[in-house]
Amino acid sequence: MDPKSSPCLLKFNVLLFLLILVCRHGYAQNTLISEMEELKWEKVMPGIWKASFGEKGLNPMDYTNSPKVGAIEALGDSPFPFAKDASRSLLTPDRASIRLPLNESEQIYGLGLEFEGINRRSNAYTLKVDHYGGIKGYTHAPVPFYISSEGYGVLINSSKRVKIHVGVGNRKDSNIPEPIDRTTGKNWAARPLSDAVEASVEGNGMEIFVFTGQTTLEVVQRYNLFFGGGVIPPKWGLGFWHRMHTKSSDQDVLKEIEDFEEHDFPLDVIGLEPGWQSFAYPCSFDWDTTRFPNPENFVRTLDQKGIKVNLWENPYVAPVSTMYKDISPYTGSHTVWLGEVPDFTIPEAQQVLLNHHKKNHLAIGVSGYKFDEVDGYDVWLWPDHATFPSGNDAVEIRQLYGMMMMDIFGRYFKEQNQRTYSLIRSAYIGASSHNFVLYSDYYDHKGYVTALANSSLAGLLWTPEIRNADSAEEWIRRFQSVSFSPLMMLNAWSSGKKPWSFPEVTDMVRNTIELRMKLLPYLYSAFYEYNQKGIPPFRAMVLENGYEAQETMAGGKLDDAKNPYAEQKRLEVTDQYMMGPSILVAPVFTGQKERSIVLPEGRWFDFYTGDYVGNGETITIQTKLEEIPLFVKDGGIIPMLNSVDKNSNDQSLEVRIYGSKENTYLLYNDDGISYDFEGGEYSLSELKSNLTQEGQLKGSFEELKNGNYSYGNINWSWMTNPN
């Protein structure tokens, strides 16, 4: 029971209000707020509620994993976060809509993989799976889940495109501000403050979930845990990825591997682009035997070198595919790039796809895929009016296509007790426990970093892959960002660039990659927290305790040619994020000689020097070409490998301690490849830094769970001088 609302008084107020309106209006009775029915909330799990009305179509949760119930229960309960009787629904012949209350100071985050901005208040979005290109809500992963700064999240569990108005659009019967005469008044706003989030779908009903939390992070944790927690990638997935030119043969790959060795660059995954197939765009999914005469041998050879093979595909089936005859009965009315589109809501279609892939790729050791173009532009993909043999709506199938692909292959790999780490270009609700990372054709570096922050608010992982650069400076800057992301990939097959293509920064690129590799124990443990507690390893600053979003409204000056409505522009910090529990990452973009960083409350230290840099303030630093700015929280404990040589058995650690605050840290490890950790096959230790009587920090190590995966010896590094 929400302590803030007194239902009797409210009911009386609503009645009075209706009476007044009816008296005033007469005719307009059906436009009163009474037209909207109160949503009936039912508790699903501690801190999670559900309401629904009408029918729903294809259920997005058919393609997500099961909740981690125990972990959700461990978070405890919290009260329903807003006045229930202010949450309302409406069904009209054309659509279903809801209205949820919003406080004046409340900020809203999330709504999927956005490349611009963090705060979603005062905007409207059409959440449509599409290429990202500037249309609000059109993106690779338009997840209809938002997080309130007041400590709750709302998920609209629909496979229809959700239109959502976040604090814009005032009902006439709502608590609306006084109008202002624009000619004479001050503070006239093109978007007056509204007291609600309103959302609709073109369908006959909706299902809504509310997730609470004591913090925004806890909201995200509950959301992720509800879908099985976060993925733990195989260790190779956290290494270096490189994609070959589409016309490369097996011999070209071997030559490329030699080049990497020669230039002393690590290499963990080789990605093969369309040309590994006998036909592509649409795809045959069959090996091109001229370029790869013996795929099995090829994959084994690479495996022996510790290199995994990842295959590019889009799901559109070419008539020449050996899979064509079997899948064709289950394809939709329209083709994409002249290939047929399997209807993966049909189990038989899933089976045909999986059987073909098992037989031809997975059985010989292929580690995963890069599923392209499951997002698509309208000019390329099937139209909304396409039909599918299952009878499911084309719009809903498009919205869920990426999720279906992840689900099909995710289940397969799980059955094989083998982890994949794959790429996909669309996702939707509840993707956190799928072993897939998103990417995009959009290539703005700053937008990529914003997307990395936003991905954590939507249960997603995202890679700011590198394709090309106009300068050596851009080259190293992009490498720095991708090295501090969930998947470190060079995807420059078309430009032909190699890590060493800009000789003046080759050493810097190598050092950056090496730093990322050394941080593996830290990063891997962060993924463990993702898996167990739903804490994203890469996080938007708004999920951080003590972070005060530095947001200002700029502009707003009337300009009849450029800004006729005197619209203000929100200036917010979108270019920094957290990695793991203690590290704040602040990427630098080409041309930036200095940059500012907003530090959450608490003392912060330079990662490289251990020097104190500030506390709950905005600092400005001079950038260095060779360094991505990294800052560590007071007490930060950072375990790092001493050696990143794949052929070395050296598993000894340097454990860095920053600042002067006592702290504990959970160090996780496992076999790095299987799901045995779910059965308890892992090592867990506690790293502690305690103050001695002399006021010095002292490190200690305690094995919490015996396992076969403990690291070697530890050297403690005290990064910060006392006082």
Hey, which residues between 542 and 581 contact its own copies (CB under 8 A)?
558-562, 564-565
* 308 contributes a contact to its own copies by CB under 8 A: no
Among 13, 35, 545, 708, binds its own copies (CB under 8 A): 35
For its own copies, what does the binding mask look like between residues 679 and 708, x meaning CB under 8 A? Answer: ------------------------------
Least distance in angstroms from the C-beta of 123 to its own copies: 6
User: Which of positions 222-281 make contact with its own copies (CB under 8 A)?
Assistant: 246-247, 274-275, 277-281
Q: Which amino acid is at 337?
A: W
Q: Which stretch binds its own copies (CB under 8 A): 4-12, 18-26, 254-262, 544-552?
A: 18-26
What do you get for the CA distance between the two ends of the chain, in Å?
A: 50
In angstroms, the CA 619 to CA 621 distance is: 7
Asked whether position 427 contacts its own copies by CB under 8 A, the answer is no
Which residue among 3, 27, 186, 649 contacts its own copies (CB under 8 A)? 27
Q: Which of 395, 397, 513, 543 binds its own copies (CB under 8 A)?
A: 395
List the one residue from 3, 92, 695, 723 that touches its own copies (CB under 8 A): 92
Residue from 115, 209, 344, 388 that binds its own copies (CB under 8 A)? 388
Segment near its own copies (CB under 8 A), from 170-178, 408-416, 650-658, 683-691?
A: 170-178
H or E element that contains 476: helix 472-483
**Site residues (CB under 8 A) for its own copies, limited to 494-523:** 494-495
Q: How far is the CB of 255 from its own copies (least distance, A)?
A: 19
Angstrom distances, CA of residue 495 to CA of 468, 469, 628, 714: 6, 9, 25, 43
Q: How many CB atoms lie within 10 A of CB 27?
A: 7
Q: Using CA of residue 14, residue 18, residue 19, residue 21, what is the dihedral sign?
A: positive
With CA atoms as reference, report the closest residue to 252 among 304, 296, 298.
298
Among 168, 219, 457, 461, binds its own copies (CB under 8 A): 168
Among 79, 306, 329, 712, binds its own copies (CB under 8 A): 329
- Binding residues for its own copies restricted to 584-623, rule: CB under 8 A: none
Which one of the spans 386-394, 499-507, 628-636, 677-685 is the region binding its own copies (CB under 8 A)?
A: 386-394
Asked if 686 and 702 count as a contact pair (C-beta separation under 8 A), the reply is: yes
In this chain, which stretch among 38-46, 120-128, 544-552, 690-698 interacts with its own copies, using CB under 8 A?
Answer: 120-128
Which member of 379, 622, 694, 721 binds its own copies (CB under 8 A)? Answer: 379
> Taking contact as CB under 8 A, which single stretch among the options 93-101, 300-308, 357-365, 687-695 is the one that binds its own copies?
93-101
What residues does 256 pair with on adjacent strands?
Answer: none
- CA distances for 175 relative to 22, 164, 169, 229, 286, angstroms: 17, 19, 12, 39, 61
Separation of alpha carbons 69 and 228, rounded Å: 8
Nearest distance from C-beta of residue 382 to its own copies, angstroms:
7
Neighbouring residues of 122: CB distance < 8 A, sequence distance ≥ 6: 166, 167, 168, 191, 193, 570
Of 250, 393, 544, 606, which lies in the binding site for its own copies, with binding defined by CB under 8 A?
Answer: 393
Count of residues for the chain?
723
Question: In angstroms, what is the minimal distance from the CB of 19 to its own copies?
Answer: 16
Contacting residue, 293, 380, 591, 664, with its own copies by CB under 8 A: 380
- In this structure, what are the phi and psi dihedrals at residue 13, rounded to the nearest 5 degrees? -65, -40
Q: Is 55 in the site for its own copies (CB under 8 A)?
A: no
Answer yes or no: are the C-beta atoms of 460 and 427 closer than 8 Å.
yes
Q: Among residue numbers 180 through 219, which ones bind its own copies (CB under 8 A)?
A: 180-184, 188, 190-192, 198, 200, 202
**Span of 232-240, 318-326, 423-431, 663-671 interacting with its own copies by CB under 8 A:** 318-326
Which distant-in-sequence residues (6+ apart) come within 8 Å of 139 by Cβ? 112, 113, 114, 115, 129, 130, 132
For the CB of residue 623, give the shortest distance to its own copies in the complex, in Å. 23
Taking CB atoms within 8 Å and a gap of at least 24, the contacts of 354-358 are 354/408, 354/409, 354/412, 356/285, 356/322, 356/323, 356/326, 357/285, 357/409, 358/412
Q: What is the spatial distance between Cα 165 and Cα 265, in angstroms, rounded to a whole number?
A: 48
Smallest gap from Cβ 484 to its own copies, in A, equals 21
Instruction: Give whichever of 36 and 155 is closer to its own copies, judged by the CB atom.
Output: 36
Distance between CA 485 and CA 341 in Å, rounded?
Answer: 32
